[in-house]
Amino acid sequence: MSPEEAPARRRGRPTGSRAGAPETREAILAAARSEFAARGYAKASIRGIARTAGVDPALVHHHFGTKEKLFGAALEFTFAPALVVPEILEGGPEGVGERLARRFLSTWEVPEVRERLIAVMRSALTEDAAAAMLREFVSRELLLRIAAQLDVPEPHLRAELAASHMVGMAVLRYVLQVEPLASADPEELVGLVAPALQRYLTER
């Protein structure tokens, strides 16, 4: 051991060398998503998340502050795919319902993304703090941006009704797994759901 290495160890930071690495941040976020998924927001702890990530709890606080902020970061990451919705709308009104339904389902069909989305949904439905954060995110990041691009009366309400249909489909298909929806071919669902989304987003 070189003399330079000793002080850090003595300060009790076995993972100190990883403190500034981007992979530390990623490892903490991954552990957070997995802990929130398994235990829900209230029961997940910074200590447990640190243990799963293999880092000191102090590092979690250093990178993310409070549990609430850590949940927020996990949430933003989880919903990153939703941020492509304004892009989808930029493609013009024709076929927008179909593009949206297809993108939504293809996102949910990826197992690790699905696991994260279900975790957020579970936390939001059972914990007020998580519900407040999801509400804030959906209103501020999603509905505002989408509504700005819609040429319909009450664009926020229309955007939310379209979202509500997709959320409900995800609940029955991926969470409750009620048949025949759970096993239906995604492209068949795109064809069935697209007209409803199209109407909300474009019909004046």
Contact footprint for a second copy (CB under 8 A): 40, 121-122, 124-126, 131, 134-135, 138-139, 143, 154, 156-158, 160-161, 163-169, 171-173, 175-181, 184, 189, 192-193, 195-196, 199-200
Please check whether residue 77 is in contact with residue 29, taking contact to mean a CB–CB distance below 8 angstroms: yes
| CB of residue 13 to a second copy, shortest distance in Å | 36
Tell me which residue of 179, 162, 180 sits closest to 104, measured CA to CA.
162
| CB of residue 119 to a second copy, shortest distance in Å | 11
Q: Which of residues 15 and 107 has its CB atom nearest to a second copy in the complex? A: 107
Q: Which of residues 40 and 57 has its CB atom nearest to a second copy in the complex? A: 40
Q: Which of residues 16 and 48 has its CB atom nearest to a second copy in the complex? A: 48
Structure tokens that stand for 192 in this block: 């069935």
| CB of residue 50 to a second copy, shortest distance in Å | 24
Those residues whose C-beta lies under 8 Å from the C-beta of residue 106, and which sit 6 or more positions away, are: 186
Tell me which residue of 122, 120, 61 sits closest to 53, measured CA to CA.
61
Structure tokens that stand for 202 in this block: 């474009």
Give the C-alpha separation, 121 to 60, whole Å.
23
Give the C-alpha separation, 26 to 138, whole Å.
23
Tell me which residue of 126, 142, 133, 137 sits closest to 66, measured CA to CA.
133
Q: Which of residues 73 and 118 has its CB atom nearest to a second copy in the complex? A: 118
Phi and psi angles of residue 17, each rounded to the nearest 5 degrees, phi first:
-65, -20
Residue with tokens 């669902």: 189
| CB of residue 156 to a second copy, shortest distance in Å | 5
| CB of residue 140 to a second copy, shortest distance in Å | 11
Q: Which of residues 74 and 166 has its CB atom nearest to a second copy in the complex? A: 166
Q: Which of residues 50 and 85 has its CB atom nearest to a second copy in the complex? A: 85
| CB of residue 164 to a second copy, shortest distance in Å | 4
